[in-house]
Chain A
Amino acid sequence: MKMTVLDTETNIERMAGTPVLSSADALIRVDGVRHAFGAVEAIQKISLDIRPGEMVSFIGPSGCGKSTLLNIIGGLLNPTEGTAYVDGQAIEKPLPKKMAYIFQESVLFPWSTVLENVKVAMEFQGAPRSEWNRRAEDALKLVGLTDFADSYPRQLSGGMKQRVALARALCLETDIILMDEPFAALDEQTRLVFGEELSRLLARTKKSIILVTHSLAEAVLLSDRIFVFSARPGMIKATLEVQEQHPRDPSFLTSEKFNKLRNELYDLLREEVLKAMEQQSGMRGAKA
């Protein structure tokens, strides 16, 4: 069952089934990965490739396993079946020299200053001590927080905290950044402004990004490709391509192309979200 719809106006490619690029130059390759938590099937066999410098999103209803797949790629979780690879190397544990992680909640250490928080990431990563200062300063400069190096996390707003988390990831100088709903705790306006900043920044640093998100707008704004997950057990229901140069201009947010893509995404997701809601109310019913 392979269906491809090509929208000539907006270059939306829509596929069903499991898309596998046959490119030999895949930076990240997910090969037949399946995962179950006990009896609960989290993700069905998923295979996908991510090219160097590409920015992709995993989007789907709650509990669809998109974070599970990200954790498998990040080496925080070993899959029940199948293997994920980075640069052809099987991922069995976190590889901080290759991949940096940004989590949903701020995981800045409240007992350390912003600068110390950035440096400790390099200490854990095993970066040479002589580079800590320069790399920390560069990263803080990139996110515009040089003046807050000596502040403590509690003195920062939610948006600033996530910018520190971004600096923490950037200072590792990895080619890949994995983001697990990094904007979830931010209000919508902050999210969009942060999203634009991120798009500019990433266009400059040329990193490969995997972004797990709930937000349709975020996915369209930031991604080159969007993997749409089905309700649990998760599989890739469709892939959307967003052919738009980075950095994405604020005017892209209000363009017809943006709206069209977002609506497309919504159509794909609606059914799955309803299914996920049914699953959850079913679980509640079974428990009662």
Chain B
Amino acid sequence: MSTIAASPGPMLAGSSGEEPARDNSRRIQLAFLIGFLLVWWLVTALALINPFFLPSPQAVARVFFRLVTTGEILPDLKITTGQIAVSFPIALLSGLAVGYAVSSSRYSVEVFEPMLAGLFAIPLIIFYPLNVLILGIGPESKIAHGAIYGFFPIVLSAIQGFGSVDRAYLRSAHSLGASRFQVLRRVLLPAALPSIMAGVRMGFVLTFVATIGSETIASLGGLGHRIVWYAESLETDKMFAYIVFIIIIAVVSNAVLSWIERRSDWR
């Protein structure tokens, strides 16, 4: 508001300065990855570690490609992604809905925000056995567990995001005769989106972690289940191939969500 002349936009000025810095940090990150693989290869090539505990990267790569090309990985992948495809939308929609409801008054924020933050601090995994008793050992218990974990960061960021929308925007919308739904769609959601997206990304990470984690504890299938299975059957090369696969999913989904988060940031 204080600028008088039309500036060409801070975006342009900022990005031209950030570009080289980002390229540089990408190079360092890549160097770390290569260094890690090199150390892994060295300790296995020099037989410093029993190959049963740590197979060579080549061996893991071979098994990985076989699992992928033969489609052996598909049934477990379908189970895990199928659970997340249900649990994450539940976490997202309920988180946004509850966050919207709580943020509607300062009083309800004061009451519910500390409660939700407190619940989030509890290691909810303690309820997983009960969850399995109620919902069974199949995908339902994983869906419930993943959804509960993903819900918290989303609801907390939604309360924060909706609650800190500039009142002047709401007054302006009110003066223009906007309905409640129009205010939500055109003002609250876009205004709060940058804060909410940070919570959504964290919610996805936790849903993913909780799903894989609960699969390793008590399950009939899924990527986490298979890791335990191959560890127990002493086929560690296969176990590592599944680990690598989960790491790739985590990195790619995080990159996609970070990209959406940056795109949605109008600030």
Which A residues contact B (CB, under 8 angstroms)? 74-76, 94-97, 101, 103, 105-107, 109-112, 120-121, 123-126, 152, 154-161, 172, 185, 187, 190
Contacts and interface: CB of A to CB of B under 8 A. Distances in A.
Contacts of A74: 175
A123 B267 contact: no
List 5 tightest A-B contacts by C-beta distance, closest first.
A111-B266, A96-B177, A124-B176, A107-B172, A124-B178
Interface in B173-219: 173-178, 182, 186-187, 190-191, 193
Contacts of A94: 174-177
Contacts of B169: 107, 109
Nearest to B9: A155
Nearest to B2: A158
B262 interface: no
Interface in B93-134: none
Contact of B5 (A125, A152, A157): A157
Nearest to B266: A111
A175 to B, nearest CB: 16
B3 interface: yes
A248 to B, nearest CB: 24
Given A109-B190, A111-B191, A124 B7 contact: no
Contact of B175 (A76, A106, A110, A155): A76
B9 A96 contact: no
Given A94-B176, A107-B171, A124-B178, 17 more contacts: A94-B175, A94-B177, A95-B177, A105-B1, A107-B168, A109-B187, A110-B266, A111-B191, A121-B176, A124-B177, A124-B182, A124-B186, A125-B177, A155-B7, A157-B3, A172-B176, A185-B2
B4 interface: yes
B186 A120 contact: yes
Q: Please indicate which of the listed interface residues B4, B168, B176, B193 has the most CB atoms of chain A within 10 Å of its own CB.
A: B176
Contacts of B10: 154
B6 interface: yes
B200 to A, nearest CB: 17
Query: Which range contains the number of B residues in contact with the other chain?
Result: 20 to 34
A101 B186 contact: no
A105 B1 CA distance: 8
B8 interface: yes
Contacts of B266: 110-111, 152
B186 A123 contact: yes
A158 B1 contact: yes
Interface of B: 1-10, 168-169, 171-178, 182, 186-187, 190-191, 193, 266-267
Contact of A157 (B4, B173, B176): B4
Contacts of A125: 176-177
B122 to A, nearest CB: 36
Contacts of A110: 266-267
Contacts of B186: 109, 120, 123-124
Contacts of A76: 171, 174-175
Contacts of B3: 157-158
A126 B181 CA distance: 13
A185 B2 CA distance: 7
30 contacts: A94-B174, A94-B175, A94-B177, A95-B177, A101-B172, A101-B175, A103-B171, A105-B1, A105-B168, A109-B186, A109-B187, A109-B191, A111-B190, A112-B190, A120-B186, A123-B182, A124-B182, A125-B176, A126-B177, A152-B9, A152-B266, A155-B6, A157-B6, A158-B1, A158-B2, A158-B3, A159-B4, A160-B6, A172-B176, A185-B2
B179 to A, nearest CB: 8
Nearest to A172: B176
A106 B173 contact: no
B262 to A, nearest CB: 14
Contacts of B5: 157
Nearest to B6: A157
Given A94-B177, A105-B168, A111-B193, A190 B4 contact: yes
A109 B171 CA distance: 12
A95 B175 CA distance: 8
B203 to A, nearest CB: 22
Contacts of A152: 9, 266
Q: Please indicate which of the listed interface residues B4, B10, B177, B266 has the most CB atoms of chain A within 10 Å of its own CB.
A: B177
A160 B1 CA distance: 10
A159 B168 CA distance: 18
Contacts of B9: 152, 154-155
A183 B168 CA distance: 16
B150 to A, nearest CB: 25
Contacts of B1: 105-106, 158, 161, 185
A101 B171 CA distance: 10
A124 B172 CA distance: 10
A83 to B, nearest CB: 19
Contacts of B4: 157-159, 187, 190
A67 B187 CA distance: 24
A155 B12 CA distance: 10
A162 to B, nearest CB: 9
